């Protein structure tokens, strides 16, 4: 397994895992915020994402987030200064990962509405999906209309189209997801 991570201070912008260098299919998971996984170790979420990506016949994956600030406890994000928790380079790495992915899965869970980031990323994803003719998937929706996190999706969960099955309302464009 080839492991890599782009980490600057308290921010992780990207995490990649490659298990088959001959397979160019890459899954991108867009989640809430990074935890402990880095270029040396996997956390439970990373392991779960790898299993989903292997099931979808991918040879690698990349994980990016709405917020690049690393914390094991997502509720800590509420205590930290906004927009610092997004990270200056977050949008750059998110868009780069989007362009390189063959499968894009949104999976930020119930706290995506913090600072209305899920609404903003929804608009960006719609734009990028149209520009690159690439569908966006999720692992189902929660009661609050946000996409389910991989840790809370059964192993046999099938990905569904995020835009054609959406209870997600799209909302009003409120804020930014880092500098371009």
Encode pLDDT of 136-149 as tens digits. 999 999 888 899 99
59 is a domain residue? yes
Consecutive H or E run containing 131: helix 117-132
Mean pLDDT, the chain, integer: 90
How far is Cα 115 from Cα 77, in angstroms, rounded to an integer? 10
Cβ partners under 8 Å of residue 124, min gap 6:
91, 94, 95, 177
173: pLDDT confidence band, cut at 50, 70 and 90? very low
Task: Tell whether the model's pLDDT for residue 176 goes beyond 50.
Answer: no
166: pLDDT confidence band, cut at 50, 70 and 90? low
pLDDT for 150: 97
pLDDT for 180: 39
48 is a domain residue? yes
pLDDT for 168: 53
Residue-range definition of the domain harbouring residue 89:
2-161
Residue pLDDT, tens place only, 104-132 = 999 999 888 878 888 888 899 999 999 99
152 is a domain residue? yes
Residue pLDDT, tens place only, 54-90 = 999 999 999 999 999 998 888 888 888 778 888 899 9
79 is a domain residue? yes
Please give the model's pTM, rounded to 2 decimal places.
0.90
167 is a domain residue? no
110 is a domain residue? yes
Which residue has 């966006």 as its token pair?
136
169 is a domain residue? no
Domain count, the chain: 1
119 is a domain residue? yes
């Amino acid at each position: 397994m080839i492991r890599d991570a782009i980490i600057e201070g308290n921010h992780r912008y990207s995490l990649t895992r490659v298990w088959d260098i001959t397979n160019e299919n890459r899954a991108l998971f867009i989640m809430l915020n990074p935890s402990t996984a880095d270029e040396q170790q996997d956390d439970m979420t990373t392991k779960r994402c790898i299993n989903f990506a292997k099931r979808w016949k991918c040879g690698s994956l990349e994980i990016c987030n709405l917020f690049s600030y690393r914390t094991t406890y997502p509720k800590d994000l509420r205590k930290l200064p906004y927009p610092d928790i997004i990270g200056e380079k977050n949008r750059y790495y998110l868009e780069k990962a989007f362009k390189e992915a063959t499968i894009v899965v949104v999976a930020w869970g119930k706290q995506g509405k913090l600072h209305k980031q899920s609404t903003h990323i929804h608009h960006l994803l719609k734009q990028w999906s149209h520009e690159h003719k690439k569908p966006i998937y999720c692992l189902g929706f929660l009661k609050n209309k946000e996409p389910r996190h991989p840790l809370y999706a059964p192993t046999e969960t099938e990905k569904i189209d995020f835009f054609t099955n959406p209870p997600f309302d799209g909302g009003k464009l409120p804020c930014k997801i880092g500098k371009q």
